Each structure stands twice: as C-alpha cells, then as structure tokens.
C-alpha cells in the first residue's frame, strides 16, 4: 500500500482545520443565533461552552486520528475492535448527508458571486430580490449545474491530496478569507446607524437566557467546529505521530471564534444601518443583504467581496467534509485517491438533487413534513453530529481512557494536569450535555 500522506507543517494543519471549522455556520448562522439569544449574554455562554466542550471533543478527535494514523472507521476499529467500526462509518455517512445540502447552498453562493460582479443584483427592493432568489433556487437545471460546478471545485482540490490539494488551498484561501472578513467588518462598523447592529450582537440581555440558550449554543459550537463526524479525526490522522497538539488546538478554536465574531460585526451593522430584518440563513444572505449592498456607498465592491467570502468559506469546509469518506476508501479498501474523489463527489451530488429540487421545483419532495433539504440539514446537524460527538466522547473517555491520557500527556506537549482535566470532561461532562442537546434538538424534551 502507498504510504499515507502527512501535512507539510503544523501550520498547514491548523489552516486546514480552521478552514474546515470556518464556514457557512460562522457566517450565516452565528450572527443571527447570537443576536436572537441575548447578544453578549449568549456570547459568554458560547465561549464557556467552546472552552469546555469544544476544546475537549476537538482534542479527542485529533488525538484519536493522530494516534491511529487511520480514517474514522479504521481508527475506532483499531482501538476498540470490530464492534466500534460502525461509529466511524456513521461519520462517513454524516459527511455525505451534510455535503449534499451544503453544495446546494454553495451553488447559490457562486451564482450570487457572479450576479453581484455583473451588477445583476442592483435593486434595493427586497420583494424583487426575493423573487429573484426564489426563481434561482426553485429552478431545475441552474441550481443543479451550480452545485455540480462547486462539487467539481471541491473534487479538484481534494483530488490533489493532502499537501498539494487541501493544505495548499487552505494556505491561500484562509488568509484571503480573514482579509475579507476584517475589511468588511471595518467598513460595516463605520456605516451611520451601524452601531445598533453591534449592540444587537454584543450587548448582553440576560432576560433572553433560558435552558434553550444553552442547547442552541452547544449545537452551534459543535457544528461550527466540525465535530462529531470524523472530519477533525481524519485531519488529525495526517499529523505526524508526535506532533504537539496544545497550541494547534487553541489556534483552531480561536480562529473559529474570531471568524464568527467578525462575521457578526460585518453583517449586523449593515442589517441595522439599512433597516432590514436580521433573520438567518438564505433570506438574510440572498435577499436582505443584497438590498443593503445596493443601497450603500461602495456596494458594488462590498457585495462581490461578501459573496466571495462566503464561497471561500464554503469551499474550505466542503473539502473537509468529503475527507473522512475518502480516507476510509483509500486506507481500508485500497482505492486510488482520484477514483475515490469522483465516486464520493458523485454520490453527494446525486443526494443533493432531491435537496435542490425540494426548494421549489418539486415541493412534494418531503420527509416527515420537512422539505428534503431541511430534512437532510435536520438529520445531520440535530441528530447525526451530536450522536457522533457523544460516541467519540464516550469512546475516548471511557474505552480508550488511560491510553488516551498517556497519548495526550506523553507525546503531545500537554501538561499532565490539563490532560487529566480533559479526560474528566470527556467522561463526565460532555456525554450528559450531548444527550441533552440531542433530546432537546429532536424535540423529545
Ligand atoms: N464547520 C462548518 C461550518 O461552520 C461546517 C462543517 C460541519 C464542516 C461538519 C465540516 C464538518 O460551516
């Protein structure tokens, strides 16, 4: 078998992992979730949750990958025996589900990048822009072709391998992404009336805090850090066996949090300066923000910059979502990387077809009363990822336990006292919290 690749440098790993973490979740989900759930008060809870659960589960995935030098299926199997292999397989399948709807959104983003560059969004009327968005997303061929185009970009990047494909793309795209974020945030905060947006995002409103705030923050943290589907495990498996982990993990987490905050500071002032509504997701990104871009001075530059930012963020995340499946088929089944990439990309795209069509062309495509698109999103984010994270925490905390502790304290440059604290979190704190998000987000409590 061909030797497995390693990252070219630890910095390359950090960039790639941060590229995975910083995605649509930071840009179109975080600002709204924070604003709705009490602004600064939510932020304090979110940061606490990231520090406790985010760090511990992220480190668990990375250590598991680094120690085994295997894909998720092989990693669980190597340390836990055959019966644990399905835990890795769940991650692989979750990746297909996530990517199938992620590419649809990414396809719209490419369309809007093109439209904004060509001056095709030049209206301040949200009704008109709304109709334009419905016409695009509800179409048959255009959104599918765009999703296929995006998938081809993902395939071409991932097909280049770890250092020449994934690492190189992230080394170029991550600095670009942060440059765009900082530029947009600085510009947005100078807009007259933008201060109200900053206040929406940051001013603490403790009256909005309830039990649901904690679960919202937990779910946001796990999605944003790409946890619970073997993605960070797989990226960790390309580290050399004795690579130090403390600083790298801290850097990945900080970049993810900073990106989310910057996205909020770039978007909310615009929303408030132009009196549009701070809703989440497609409506905000493709309808209300374009209206604001058309009305603002310099909008002809800010608009394309924003959609470029979104496309870049989506690309660096999408390539990581495919990697667990690719590493599994190449490690365990001896497939060539090229063949694996195109097979996996085609499966995701095929699964994306009903998602895309359910946005308007075929509204009858529903599962359990949700559009196919929303059902995939729900299944992945609310069920499969929390289940995956729960299994990872229990596996590393309880089954691997002592071995994990030694792995972390002996060869990772993490002081033993921190390593012991980490194990306690994985054993006693993360599992009950994850069970709670699962029960809450599936509506069982
Ligand atoms: N973290 C990415 C985001 O915030 C999404 C993602 C989830 C990426 C799972 C990889 C794996 O958009």
Residues 269 and 195: their CA atoms lie apart, in Å, by 6
Q: What's the rounded mean pLDDT across residues 258-269?
A: 94
- What's the pLDDT at 171? 95
Residues 303 and 305: their CA atoms lie apart, in Å, by 5
Q: What is the mean pLDDT of the chain?
A: 93
What is the reported pTM? Answer: 0.95
- What's the pLDDT at 136? 95
Q: What's the rounded mean pLDDT across residues 308-320?
A: 96
* Residue 20 near residue 235 (C-beta atoms within 8 A): yes
Instruction: State which of 22, 158, 223, 385 you would mutate to test the pocket of ligand 1, scoring each by most atoms of that ligand within 8 A of its C-beta.
Output: 223
Q: What's the rounded mean pLDDT across residues 353-362?
A: 95
Residues 90 and 102: their CA atoms lie apart, in Å, by 18
Whether the pLDDT of residue 124 is over 80: the answer is yes
- What's the pLDDT at 2? 58
Task: Please tell me the distance between residue 342's alpha carbon and the centre of ligand 1 in angstroms.
Answer: 21
* 390/1: higher pLDDT: 390
- Closest Cα to atom 6 of ligand 1: 226
- What's the pLDDT at 28? 82
CB atoms within 10 A of CB 271: 25
Task: Please tell me the distance between residue 219's alpha carbon and the centre of ligand 1 in angstroms.
Answer: 12
Predicted confidence band of residue 219 (pLDDT cuts 50, 70, 90): confident
Q: What residue spans of 190-245 are helical by DSSP H? A: 195-202, 211-224, 231-237
Q: What's the rounded mean pLDDT across residues 391-418?
A: 93
- What's the pLDDT at 301? 94
Whether the pLDDT of residue 436 is over 60: the answer is yes
Handedness of CA 353, 359, 365, 368 (dihedral sign): positive
């Amino acid at each position: 078998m061909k030797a497995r690749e390693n990252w070219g440098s630890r910095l390359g790993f950090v960039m790639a992992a941060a590229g995975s973490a910083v995605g649509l979740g930071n840009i179109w989900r975080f600002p709204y979730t924070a604003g709705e759930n009490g602004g600064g008060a939510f932020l304090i809870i979110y940061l606490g949750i990231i520090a406790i659960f985010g760090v511990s589960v992220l480190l668990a995935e990375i250590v598991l990958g680094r120690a085994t030098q295997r894909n998720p299926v092989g990693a669980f199997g190597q340390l836990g025996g055959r019966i644990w292999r399905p835990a890795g397989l769940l991650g692989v399948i979750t990746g297909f589900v996530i990517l199938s709807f992620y590419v649809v959104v990414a396809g719209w983003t490419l369309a809007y990048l093109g439209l904004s560059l060509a001056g095709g969004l030049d209206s301040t009327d949200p009704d008109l822009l709304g109709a334009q968005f419905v016409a695009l997303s509800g179409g048959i061929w255009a959104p599918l072709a765009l999703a296929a185009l995006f998938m081809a970009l993902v395939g071409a990047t991932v097909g280049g391998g770890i250092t020449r494909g994934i690492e190189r793309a992230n080394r170029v795209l991550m600095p670009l992404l942060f440059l765009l974020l900082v530029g947009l945030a600085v510009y947005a905060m100078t807009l007259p009336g933008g201060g109200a947006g900053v206040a929406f995002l940051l001013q603490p409103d403790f009256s909005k805090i309830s039990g649901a705030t904690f679960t919202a923050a937990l779910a946001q943290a796990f999605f944003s850090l790409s946890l619970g589907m073997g993605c960070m495990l797989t990226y960790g498996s390309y580290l050399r066996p004795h690579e130090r982990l403390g600083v790298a993990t801290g850097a990945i987490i900080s970049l993810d949090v900073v990106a989310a905050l910057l996205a909020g500071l770039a978007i909310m002032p615009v929303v408030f300066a132009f009196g549009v509504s701070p809703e989440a997701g497609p409506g905000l990104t493709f309808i209300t923000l374009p209206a604001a871009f058309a009305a603002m001075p310099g909008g002809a530059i800010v608009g394309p910059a924003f959609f470029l930012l979104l496309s870049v963020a989506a690309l660096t995340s999408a390539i990581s979502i495919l990697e667990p499946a690719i590493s599994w088929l190449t490690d365990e089944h001896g497939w060539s990387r090229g063949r694996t990439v195109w097979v996996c990309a085609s499966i995701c795209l095929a699964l994306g077809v009903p998602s895309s069509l359910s946005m308007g062309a075929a509204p009858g495509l529903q599962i359990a009363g949700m559009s196919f698109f929303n059902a995939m999103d729900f299944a992945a984010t609310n069920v499969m990822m929390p289940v995956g994270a729960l299994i990872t925490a229990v596996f590393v905390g309880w089954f691997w336990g002592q071995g994990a502790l030694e792995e972390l304290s002996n060869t990772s440059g993490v002081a033993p006292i921190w390593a012991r604290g980490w194990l306690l979190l994985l054993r006693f704190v993360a599992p009950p919290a994850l069970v709670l998000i699962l029960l809450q987000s599936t509506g069982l409590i």
